[in-house]
Structure 1
Amino acid sequence: MKKIINAPENYTDDMLKGIYTAHGDQVKYTDDNLRCYCKAKKTEGKVAIVTGGGTGHLPLFLGYVGEGLLDGCAVGSVFQSPSAEQIYNVTKEVEAGAGVLYLYGNYTGDTMNFDMSAEMCEMDDIETRSIVGADDVNSGEDPAVRRGVAGIFFMYKCAGAKAAEMGTLDEVLAAAQKAKDNTRTVGFALTPCIIPEVGHSNFTLGENEMAMGMGIHGEPGIWNGPVKTADELASESLGTLLKDMPVGEGEEICVLINGLGATSIEELYILSGSVRKLLDEKKIKVYRTFVGEFATSMEMAGASISICKVDGEMKDWIDRPVKTPFYTQS
């Protein structure tokens, strides 16, 4: 294992210390708990949005805490859920009088702990609502069991914009739900990654082997086989996405091409070009394309493709400026 770290067991806390040192004007932590990550300032009367999840996916989860997006994040160890107490403490810190939306990925530990925190908040008369990202098409036929991956970005954007408009808690939840209903993702891995506390790869792939549908924690995909070209990957992925969520000629979508941690931006743009060519052939309009790292898996090589069907309201939300230490859109 070659990583720029101190002790593997301190990986998450050392990372957080570095973030707070570099960006203390934008983010802070609560009650001497580094893993209760919040915006430095809150807006009274605004719905607060709280997320949470394991380390290893930056900028996913804590990287979207900032102006126009999220208000707080409970941070777990690498690929591990944060505790209910962490979520509760973040909630108490960011709540600003209008209630709190819990918006996080569809993973068992996260769901259990966010539900426990909601019960604790109810006893404190803090109103909460919950919604999970579940956009990973290849992780299950039933949308209720699908994993939340890079497509949660669109949920963050829409909910964050509605909250910035000073929408009610139910309105912010509805904005997140609208993005969820219209977003799908397909991902694929070319290499495994190494969890610092473990010290070795979390799965194995052959020299010329890839995994279609591999999860961001190394969950098994739908097939392993020879590495395909960008055109072939775009074709298979779009076929899966459009079968699950049909998009007609003339309808508009946003496209997100996401790198998993060790894929060069050049490769992502090659993949983006392949996707756009196919969409143009199908006469599907692309409103915006986002290319970069939005939800990673340590140093895993691979990518994911998300599509989000948009109308005028969603385009306005997605276009809103945001600013966090990890992601800025002007």
Structure 2
Amino acid sequence: MNKLQDIPFSVLDLAPIVEGGTAADSFHNTLDLARHAEAWGYHRYWLAEHHNMPGIASSATSLVIGHVAAGTKSIRVGSGGIMLSNHAPLMIAEQFGTLESLYPGRIDLGLGRAPGSDQAAARAMRRGLGQDGSEFPEQLSELRAYFDPEGAGSRPLGVRAVPGEGLNVPIWLLGSSGFSAQLAGQLGLPFAFASHFAPDYLLPALHLYRTSFKPSAVLDKPHVMVGLGITAAETTEQARWLATSQQQQFLNIIRGRTGKLQPPVDSMEGLWSPQEKAMLLSKQLYSIAGDQTAIKERLLQIVEETQADEFIVASQIYDHTARLHSYELVAELVKGS
């Protein structure tokens, strides 16, 4: 079994806007966390595209990636992910070509096929409501062709991405089901699974990815990154208290609501119904709240279950200082394993 210290750990920052805070506060905290994550040895720092969500500040994902890359020195910075269905592939090639030109060797392009928004926001972004994600492979092929000087056959005749063409921007496929898992395997691309909110499909998706994998110029063998929700604190009791902010956020999603990240509460009882509690807890199979000992024990189980090549950690914690300490505790236990 792999030791934790042999597995790269990364940060997935959902750029939370907390109750009483602003997007400007979120961007300040994002850069502060990124600088600490770099010092603590985290491998990547990814930001996600979401729209029409008052509690998430990273809707203009490429801009926030640039903000983080400019304020750090060595950590890889990228998208977890860009929702390609919302964009013209040419524009994403140009944006990430620009980022790679500014911060060479440090930029990742993680791609998802979901809209990352509700129907109203999708309509506002001029996204065709008839799209169901089936167009994603074609969009991906066009996007990859803009980076490849020889890829003219998959892009409109005479159209080039400047900057972008000829640059090596690693592309990852992200998913919470089997569609992107199989596509990533067939194309020989690295695959990241969002098990921090879709745990039921993790193991089937990894099996599908690995069994469908075909070696490529990018990879000679499968490479998977598993998303985890982790809330770490000095005691398990304190960690579980901090984790109620994330639980409240999940509860709002179940109810079809959006809002800012709420402060912790002493108990979720009375806030959720028995059915909502069962639904929410079923979504947290790969979310861990505890002290270092408890987290390490569960991480070793997950390594055994998934044989993951990397982990990426999302920590939705209301207090910024507590959020920093959570990531610091995870980094310490990984190094000491």
Could you tell me the TM-score, scaled by structure 1's length? 0.38
Q: Which has the higher strand share?
A: 1
Q: Which has the higher helix share?
A: 2
